[in-house]
Amino acid sequence: MYQPFLDYLEKELFKRFDLSSQPIPPGLERQVSDRAKHRAIIQSWCYQCPELRKIRYTYMDVGPVSQVFNSVMYPSHCYDIPLLGIDFLAFGKKKILVVLDFQPLFRDEAYQEKYIEPMRVIRDRYQDLAQNLEMKFYDANQYFSKYLLFAKIDSLETVKTEVFEAYKDYLALYWQMVEQAEPLTEPEDIERIVKAQKDYDQYSADRDPAHGLFSSYFGPEWAEQFLYEFLFENAMPLAVSQSQT
């Protein structure tokens, strides 16, 4: 279902950036499970370039049961621009969830005006995909913008048309933001970004709803390793994190 989205992302990335591969820990790049009725295959890719220190994306294919496409892009620490977050899930052909956002590192007014307000024009073109749904696992005021696309969909045709067009528009704006970003040079500014990105990883790992899905197909040990060694590598397991505070 989401393969065209992955293909488009790869095409754009390799066209626009000087990418180099980032190693994925052994056993996490690809995994296959036959423990359920339908075979589950999960595969991940990871790259870096001067502007983006980590570009990761993952596709999980469980045939007609489930399709998941997830990606996060982390700007290099000298740039304070938001992270790009993509999370598309489908459970069958009628239960589809779409999340697409520029995830802000900071909440101050100047930051919002500079990086979040430009999203408004695009979001307003896709009102049907901005449904203001309640977040079950996250605080909408933490690492989400007010112009995110967040929608439940029951039509595969909508995914192929409206969602794909919105996806391309959001990506185009993000590439523009990356290209126009001016690097910061003051050590305290860079350290602030380092901390903000680490905090994002910890917050996300503590609440990641996909962890249970991965665990059900690939086992809890693999899912735990995938969560902390690949998806959010700067996070610590919750018990360890709490013991150090």
Tell me the pLDDT tens digit for each residue of 109-158: 999 999 999 999 999 999 898 877 665 544 556 678 999 998 999 888 98
Q: Among 3.50.50.60, 3.40.1500.20, 3.30.70.3170, 3.30.450.40, what is the CATH number of 3-186?
A: 3.40.1500.20
> In this structure, are residues 144 and 138 in contact, taking their beta carbons and an 8 Å threshold?
yes
Average pLDDT, the chain: 91
> In this structure, are residues 68 and 88 in contact, taking their beta carbons and an 8 Å threshold?
yes
Predicted confidence (pLDDT) per residue in 2-40, tens digit: 999 999 999 999 999 999 999 999 999 999 999 878 999
Structure tokens at 172: 């185009």
Any residues with CB less than 8 A from the CB of 168 and at least 6 apart, and which?
8
CA–CA distance from 121 to each of 109, 127, 136 (Å)? Answer: 18, 11, 27
> In this structure, are residues 61 and 40 in contact, taking their beta carbons and an 8 Å threshold?
yes
